[in-house]
Structure 1
């Protein structure tokens, strides 16, 4: 007996998820895209998406689309450095897409009158004051997985300190302040965080590996809009790197 068309389509997409062609947090083709690609009715396309979701491979987010759920062992979060698309999507939205419940705990949100600087990959990046300093802990399902410290230019982004902290700041730079991002400089290092360390905001009881991400977001005119230093739990994250990132890429899952 031949399989119904919607099952054939859903199984094809599930195979792409299993093979890694579609990663956790990636958006599955929309109903309209399925209709166009497979030459099927909207009922068949809708059934395909519902079948993928009912089998536990994806989750529909109202008004946004259907996203691949994170089914990796131990729920490791796979993030790709060099992806503008995924950086634009941001931490909060990425976790929602993968089926986690995100939460933020703000440790510090202050305005610094003077500028700050950071050396990333052998190059100095400077933000003139005033600067928003934002230090927050990022949760996934009630577990702290990221300790994030950002410095944002209030000259380039006035009043951004009044916005909620779960936004994608990268997206806001582009949409609200009309900044053209020219470069995102990122370096990744690793360390072991001890329970008695002053930097242990994770409530860790034993020594735990950490990824340390330093980044700078640079817009037109070589102006630095953001500098970040974040700690990611090494037992919760895996990182990959795009060798030749393209500004218009549509894959990968780093986050801001």
Structure 2
């Protein structure tokens, strides 16, 4: 007969294998396992250690235990349009899946006159002043994302004084007490020539690139953030997952590193 901690770890691993728990998702904590199964602290802890020892998850001190990816070519799932995934942030998403993130800031400046964009046929306007942050996002020294964000200084005073090495989404919620109400996104593609002056990916040949335009809204309908990011087309795949019960479309993607 299997020990209790093995049964619990098998239960969690089954959720990972079935896709109920995805790469980057947080697995149940010790306290949650204690409450669910009525076991001791020791049994709950050994269950999580068993999952980690088998390579299904990784514990991040002070944050919890997160699902790693077990596919042979190490595809990493990304959920776009999800508030939870956005809250976790790019760097944290990489860390919990075993990668070392790095960010290179190319530009950090204030635009006095604001900016606008069009997403899904609707025009979104952010009045100035606006913080513009252009940065390159790496995983294990491989550039995956060329990211440009525009953030409302009117809604987030002095946010330009903060480090760019953070999850802005958490700052919006925790420091400025904004309630995020919606995320809208457009996905398109281009072929980026190797000699293009805007190409930072350093690929020897023309590179297929995904362009993701997004807007983050906060109550009562204000534009909090605009983003235009380029993703390496040879490292990412995107899918659309519908959740009819919530009447929303969530975009998800995988990247190959």
Q: TM-score, normalised by structure 1?
A: 0.91
Q: How many residues are paired up?
A: 251
Segments of structure 1 that go 5 or more residues without pairing to the other structure are none
Kept after mapping to 2: 8 A contact 1:34/1:45: yes
**Which stretch of the first structure deviates more once superposed, 117-126 or 201-210?**
201-210
Mapped to 1, the partners of 2:214 and 2:200 lie a distance apart of 20
> Matches of residues 1-256 of structure 1 in structure 2 within 5 Å?
2-244=1-243
Compare relative contact order (CA 8 Å, sep 6+) and give the higher one, 1 or 2.
1
Partner secondary structure for residue 208 of structure 2: strand
Alpha-carbon shift at residue 24 of structure 1 (Å): 0.6
Q: Is the 8 A contact 2:137 2:144 kept in 1?
A: yes
Tell me: CA distance 1:162–1:224, structure 2 relative to 1, closer, same or farther (3 Å). Answer: same
After TM superposition, the structure 1 stretch with the greater mean CA deviation from structure 2, 164-173 or 66-75, is 66-75
State the SS of the aligned residue for 1:243.
Answer: strand
What SS does the aligned partner of 2:73 have?
Answer: helix
**Cα distance in 2 between the residues matched to 1:102 and 1:75:** 16
How many Å apart are 1:147 and its aligned residue? 0.5
* Greater strand proportion: 2
**Does the aligned pair in 2 maintain the 1:82–1:245 contact within 8 Å?**
no
The TM-score, its normalising length taken from structure 2, stands at 0.91
* Aligned-residue offset at 1:172: 1.1
